Structure 1
Amino acid sequence: MLDWVAYRKELLGRIGEIGKLSPDTVAGYQTLSNAGQKTGHLDAKTHELIALAVAVTTRCDGCITVHAAQALKNGASREEIAEALGVAIALNAGAALVYSARVMDAVSAHSAG
């Protein structure tokens, strides 16, 4: 497994380099990232639990290390994190099932033609 703490530190440093080379790109990302937090409908912990579930479904190691640290900082327990990951696992399996149905639909369409 990765050294997640060292990876996070290195990753944030590299993103800082990108920010110096292309400040509008990083500023645009930060605007998107912070937009949902401004409404105040979800607390910070819930936001991070969702982010971790999405990080799993998008297979983003950078997202995992950043949001794992933030989830813990915002009071998420290991049990809450595991439950959020359970949702991600179920949806990934569900998405595979849905897209399998789409494949079968495409096969039917191509067979008929």
Structure 2
Amino acid sequence: MDKSYPDITRNLSANLKHLRKEIPEVTQAFSGLAGAALRDGALDKKTKELIALGIGISTRCDGCIGFHTEALIKLGVTRDEFRDVVGMAIYMGGGPSLMYAADAMAAFEQYSAIPD
């Protein structure tokens, strides 16, 4: 496995910091959208993050896999919950999602190994 999801998210975070300076109105609006979408409602935050992970896998987005896996680890996701979402992403995304699901499991292992 050549990908390190903690490195991917760290590098993206640095790039996003610069992007926020370049287009602050757009990035602030996106942050507001994210905050509103993730607020507890009929679904709790963990369920919403699980959905986001599934979409990230099926769209083959490394950053999405990294950021949402990290959030899920912090929210106390279990391996069984994580595997169920990975399975649904494979079902919905076919072969390419199978490849990214393997990467998502690697991200789970990497973030699980980082002490709090």
SS of the aligned residue for 2:3 comes to coil
Aligned structure 1 segments of 4 or more residues deviating by more than 6 angstroms = none
2:18 match: 17
Which amino acid in structure 2 is aligned with residue 88 of structure 1?
A: A
1:82 match: 83
Once the two structures are TM-superposed, the CA of residue 37 in structure 1 deviates from its matched residue by: 2.6
34-43 or 12-21, larger mean C-alpha shift: 34-43
1:73 aligns with 2:103: no
1:96 match: none
The alignment yields a C-alpha RMSD, in angstroms, of: 1.3
Q: Any stretches of 5+ residues in structure 1 without a counterpart?
A: 94-113
2:4 match: 3
- The 8 Å contact of residues 8 and 62 in structure 2, kept in 1 or not, is answered as no
Which amino acid in structure 1 is aligned with residue 4 of structure 2?
A: D
User: How high is the TM-score relative to the length of structure 2?
Assistant: 0.74
Looking at secondary structure, tell me which structure has more helix per residue. 1
2:33 match: 32
Which amino acid in structure 1 is aligned with residue 90 of structure 2?
A: I
Matched pairs, number = 93
Distance 1:38 1:79 in 2: 24
Percent identity, aligned pairs only, is 32
- The 8 Å contact of residues 53 and 85 in structure 2, kept in 1 or not, is answered as yes
2:57 match: 56
Once the two structures are TM-superposed, the CA of residue 53 in structure 1 deviates from its matched residue by: 0.2
Once the two structures are TM-superposed, the CA of residue 38 in structure 1 deviates from its matched residue by: 3.2
Once the two structures are TM-superposed, the CA of residue 72 in structure 1 deviates from its matched residue by: 0.7
Which structure would you say has the larger Rg? Answer: 1
Using CA pairs under 8 Å that are at least 6 residues apart, name the structure with larger relative contact order, 1 or 2: 2
Which amino acid in structure 2 is aligned with residue 81 of structure 1?
A: F
CA change 1:45–1:38 in 2 (3 A) is closer
